[in-house]
Amino acid sequence: GAVVSQHPSWVICKSGTSVKIECRSLDFQATTMFWYRQFPKQSLMLMATSNEGSKATYEQGVEKDKFLINHASLTLSTLTVTSAHPEDSSFYICSATPQSSYNSPLHFGNGTRLTVT
User: Min. distance of Cβ 92 from another protein in angstroms?
Assistant: 10
Q: Looking at residue 117, what DSSP letter applies?
A: -
> What secondary structure letter does DSSP report for 109?
-
Q: Which residues of this protein are in contact with another protein, per CB under 8 A?
A: 4, 6, 32, 34, 41-44, 46, 49, 91, 93, 95, 97, 102-103, 105-111, 113
Q: Taking a C-beta distance cutoff of 8 angstroms, is the pair 111, 91 a contact?
A: yes
E-only strand ranges, the chain: 4-7, 10-13, 19-25, 32-38, 44-51, 57-58, 67-73, 76-81, 90-96, 107-108, 112-116
In the complex with another protein, the residue whose CB is nearer, 67 or 111, is 111
Q: How far is the CB of 29 from another protein (least distance, A)?
A: 15
Q: Which CB atom, from 32 or from 89, has the smaller least distance to another protein?
A: 32
Least distance between another protein and beta carbon 115 (Å) = 13
Residue 76: beta bridge partners? Answer: 24, 73
Q: Is the Cβ of residue 82 or residue 113 nearer to another protein in the bound state?
A: 113
